[in-house]
Amino acid sequence: MAKLEIGAQLFTLRELMKTPEEIHEGFKKVRDIGFKVAQVSGLGPIEPERLRDISEETGVKICITHTPYNRIKDDLDNVIKEHRIFGCDVIGLGAMPRDYWEGGLESYRKFVKEANEITKKVKAAGMDFSYHNHRFEFEKLEDGRLGIDVLLEDIPDMCFTLDTYWVQAGGASPVEYIKKTAGRVKVLHLKDMRIRNNEQLFAEIGEGNINFLPIYAAAVEAGTKIAVIEQDNCYGRNPFDSLKLSLENITRDYLSK
């Protein structure tokens, strides 16, 4: 089986990477753990050139970002310029703003119109615009479609940063949606889920209940090249240790076979 390149979603480390000095140290630790690619998300303020230099110095390539929607919508030229500085060709959106999805199908249509325009401009610049799902996109809308399917069908050139945890939390199959988005997932989010006291919690990869074997195989078959590990909450464990455990489990279960 072909192998996915496994990276780190730096949102996992957001509380430990608030200053340029912490960001530099965080990139070094991520590389020492064994990651060579990372998603930039939730970091403290830092100049694009400084972030590029840190990336190059530590040998951790920036493969995708999470960029605020207001910046993508209103300052796209500068967002594209920054990504060129990073050497990153995927502009990622963490989620559509709340007022775009709370209003149902009409609000979705507003986002679809804007996202199609954004996607067109981003592709003209030689890059991709990628949408990261949560659970709310799996609500059924007035036309009978799930929100996620509206995005898939009505924004045909937009990519997806598919998140395994949130697909599962939305009551859908991660494997099914990897197949549905084949060729459109530049970066996959690997995130596990465990149950404790009847509560749904985040978990290190391999420490929860999600079966990643068919997910991994489906992603490879669908043409995805990079998967990043993300854990929104480590529940008191050092987030670097959580990333390390996840990578060890993936290496043991998938990369070494």
CATH number, span 5-255: 3.20.20.150
Distance CA 77, CA 82 (A): 9
Q: Please, which residues have CB within 8 angstroms of residue 102's CB and are 6 or more apart in sequence?
A: none
Q: What's the Rg (C-alpha) of the chain?
A: 18
- Where are the extended beta strands (E) located within 75-156? 90-93, 128-132
Locate 206 and state its tokens. Answer: 């391999």
Under 8 Å between Cβ of 200 and 173: no
Q: Average pLDDT over the chain, rounded to whole?
A: 97
pTM recorded for the entire structure? 0.96
Locate 183 and state its tokens. Answer: 């060729």
Amino acid, res. 62:
I
Per-residue pLDDT reduced to its tens digit, 217-245: 999 999 999 999 999 999 999 999 999 99
Q: What is the pLDDT of residue 253?
A: 86
Phi/psi region, residue 10 (left: phi>0; alpha: psi -120 to 50; beta: rest), is alpha
Per-residue pLDDT reduced to its tens digit, 32-89: 999 999 999 999 999 999 999 999 999 999 999 999 999 999 999 999 999 999 999 9
Nearest 5°: phi and psi at 25?
-65, -40
Q: Please, which residues have CB within 8 angstroms of residue 130's CB and are 6 or more apart in sequence?
A: 64, 90, 91, 92, 93, 158, 159, 160, 161, 186, 187
